[in-house]
Amino acid sequence: MSMIKKLLMIAVGAFCCASAAAQYPFIFRNDGSFNRIDLADEVVLRHRISAADSALTLGSEEIPLGAIDYIDFRQTDIPTLRFTLPEHPDYDWAKDKTTYLDAVLDIDGCGMVDDAEGLQLMVRGRGNTSWSMRKKPLRLKFEKKTAICGLQKAKSYVLLANYLDHTHMRNAAGLWVARRLGMDYAVNAVPCNVYFNGKYCGLYLLTDKIGTTKASVDIDENTGILFEASAEFDEKYKFKSSMKLPIMVKDPDFDKLYAADSTGMTPDERLAMWADDLNKAEEKVAEDKGYEAFDMASAADYFLTMNFCNNSEIGYPKSVYFYKRDLSPESLYHFGPVWDLDVAFNIVTSLETLEEVNSTTPLWRMWYFFYFEDLEIYNTLYAQRLEEFATTMYPELCEWLNDYAKMIEPSARLDGLRWPENTGVGGWTRRISSFDTARFGSNFFKWINARMEFMLSEAGLDIPFTPGIFDYELPKPATSNKSLNIHDFSGHIKSFKLNDGLEVKLSDGRLEVAGDGADYSCALADVSRIDYSEAEQTAIAAPALSDSRIEIYGDYAIVATEAESRVDIIDLSGRRVFSDDTSADELRIDLSTLADGIYILNINGSACKKFRRINR
């Protein structure tokens, strides 16, 4: 499996598909609307053809054929989380940020993660400014540790609403960077659709909850500390440091520790001990000896991530986490986990311009980092990591973002329809509909490319830099409505003349076309798209492509290649999961970590073999 695929799994959760038998069709339209076709029951697409107006009937909705660009069929989709509140069936959201409500959670893994039914848990609201917005973030709490959506088993999780992020990429990209840099305890995240009491709430990001747990900051609660520097200053145990920073104890729970051992320190004594330790660390910082109290490698990686994201909130500060394992002389404070990046990447505008791309002021060269910049060890580490990021990791990020954009595209459109544009209060809380992923993704790439160039210039690094290209393009829309065309994943087409009454039935894993002499059937798993443009008919490919250059041996494949060949493996959603440019005569590909499902192996852009991966 390619490094890109491995990073995709890390950054958006360890997708552990148990089955890829389902199909997820979406109707891409040019009239500002969008449809997801639910195949839980039989679906019949009926065509009404007339000189005045032609339409496709889907259930009770009639869609003008001219408004349909194409119908996209995917083997997978992002997971869907359905919350039901048995005692409060009329609630649209959690009641508030303090009251936990009993709930039942059903998960449709949609071919990406395992399904789950009837999970008992509690939910409440969360967030500060984000809770005041129309789309609400949520906190999930299970009675015992439970693994969902491929994330590590835990009692608590967070659902980020990303209401202000019309790209739905900001938090995901920032967390990816932290993960790729190898920062300890980086947060995992999975995009998902959320329903609350049957009502669609939009596209969310399911993440770990930060705390001193095995799923987050895995340190001993009896000896270590996790601090949060935040202007909210709303935790029970808190203090103002010698540098006047608002420091809160995120974890552990001092009261619980005292309840478990009342012979030990009281909560106030424990707070005083840690406050004294941090104040001594700040004295080291002020003396330009910060390296004696803080881990410089984590500081460089943390600031690199925040600088790349242009996250102004660390300057307030807000949501700045750092931890220490114990009070031993050799123990240092480490920065992280990285968190809360929705007010980043030029949040004030729609990214149509490169506003703030050259900005350093929002970071305020914040507190400790203001002093760190006078340290040779910090500057050397930062420059080394920035060069490594720009030359090696940034191209991987751009490739990952292209895959991520395609993965969330249907859900981003549905979220955009659910939450249209809203001016908000004070400018920065403006909501922009997320409907146009292709345009917003392109703008996002322009911004991060310019940001990288600025960061390299700011650091005085004269190194080659290749800007990323947002190459996710939607299939070309229909140019006429004279025929119905069924495409498979190898580019073959089966066409039918559009006539009044022509029907397409989707049921039991099959696609059937009937009406006016048409009689055709194929497996849904072989269908990639339906459109209505004029097309030259070719034979739909057989269920299994064959190429003598390729042999599949369980956990690996052997590909006989020619000079300068490109080998790709794509899944049936069209996402590239492996890619290699090779000049060798033979390429061995590890298939052992591929999720269950059907894949196409391409050589130099041509589909050469279709195979099914089953993990036993």
Residue 446: alpha-carbon gap to chain centroid: 19
Read off φ and ψ for residue 399, nearest 5 degrees: -65, -40
What percent of the chain stands above pLDDT 70? 86
Q: What is the mean pLDDT of residues 446-455?
A: 94
Position 278 scores a pLDDT of 98
Which residue type occupies 265?
M
Q: Identify the band that residue 11 occupies on the pLDDT scale cut at 50, 70 and 90.
A: very low
Position 601 scores a pLDDT of 81
Q: What is the mean pLDDT of residues 180-199?
A: 97
Q: What is the mean pLDDT of residues 181-210?
A: 97
- Segment 537-564, tens digit of pLDDT: 554 444 444 566 777 776 778 888 776 7
Q: What is the mean pLDDT of the chain?
A: 87
Identify the helix (H) or strand (E) that includes residue 207.
strand 199-208
| Separation of alpha carbons 509 and 38, rounded Å | 13
Position 563 scores a pLDDT of 67
- Which residues touch 56 (CB under 8 Å, ≥6 apart)? 45, 46, 47, 48, 62, 63, 65, 68
Position 594 scores a pLDDT of 83
| Separation of alpha carbons 193 and 78, rounded Å | 7
DSSP assignment string, 167-197: SS-HHHHHHHHHHHTT-TTPPPEEEEEEEET
SS3 category, 503: strand
Q: Identify the band that residue 536 occupies on the pLDDT scale cut at 50, 70 and 90.
A: low
Contact between residue 82 and residue 121 where contact means Cβ atoms under 8 Å apart? no
Identify the helix (H) or strand (E) that includes residue 415.
helix 394-418
Residue 534: alpha-carbon gap to chain centroid: 36
Cα angle 353, 416, 340; round to 5: 65
| Whether residue 505 has pLDDT greater than 50 | yes
**Across 17-26, 202-211, 385-394, least confident range:** 17-26
Q: What is the mean pLDDT of residues 372-388?
A: 96
- DSSP bridge partners of 567: 580, 603
Q: What is the mean pLDDT of residues 154-176?
A: 95
Q: Identify the band that residue 591 occupies on the pLDDT scale cut at 50, 70 and 90.
A: confident
**Across 211-215, 222-226, 360-364, least confident range:** 360-364
- Which residues touch 575 (CB under 8 Å, ≥6 apart)? 403, 406, 407
Domains contained in the chain, CATH given: 24-74+478-531 (no CATH), 80-208 (no CATH), 544-613 (2.60.40.10)
| Whether residue 609 has pLDDT greater than 90 | no
| Whether residue 346 has pLDDT greater than 90 | no
Q: What is the mean pLDDT of residues 577-586?
A: 83
Angle between the 3-11 and 394-418 helix axes, to the nearest 10 degrees?
Answer: 40
Letter string b/e over residues 136-168, b meaning 16 or more CB atoms within 10 A of that residue's CB: bbbbbbbeeebbbbbbeebbbbbbbbbbbbbbb
**Which range among 174-178, 517-521, 584-588, 597-601 has the greatest average pLDDT?**
174-178
| Whether residue 17 has pLDDT greater than 60 | no
- Segment 112-156, tens digit of pLDDT: 999 999 999 999 999 888 898 999 999 999 999 999 999 999 999
- Segment 291-302, tens digit of pLDDT: 999 999 999 999
Position 518 scores a pLDDT of 80
| Whether residue 352 has pLDDT greater than 70 | no
**609: how many CB neighbours lie within 10 A of its CB?**
21
Tokens of 55: 């339409």
- Segment 237-252, tens digit of pLDDT: 999 999 999 999 999 9
| Whether residue 604 has pLDDT greater than 80 | no
Contact between residue 353 and residue 320 where contact means Cβ atoms under 8 Å apart? no
| Whether residue 77 has pLDDT greater than 70 | yes
CA distance readout (Å), 51 to 47, 55, 62, 467? 13, 11, 16, 49
What percent of the chain stands above pLDDT 90? 63
- Segment 245-290, tens digit of pLDDT: 999 999 999 999 999 999 999 999 999 999 999 999 999 999 999 9
Cis peptide preceding 79, ω within 30 of 0? no
| Separation of alpha carbons 487 and 493, rounded Å | 5
Burial-class residue 26 by CB neighbours within 10 Å (0-12, 13-18, 19+).
buried
Q: What is the mean pLDDT of residues 102-112?
A: 95
pTM for the structure as a whole: 0.86
Position 35 scores a pLDDT of 97
DSSP assignment string, 225-262: EEEEE-TT--SSSEEE-TT--EEEEEES-HHHHHHH-T
- Choose between 353 and 590: higher pLDDT: 590
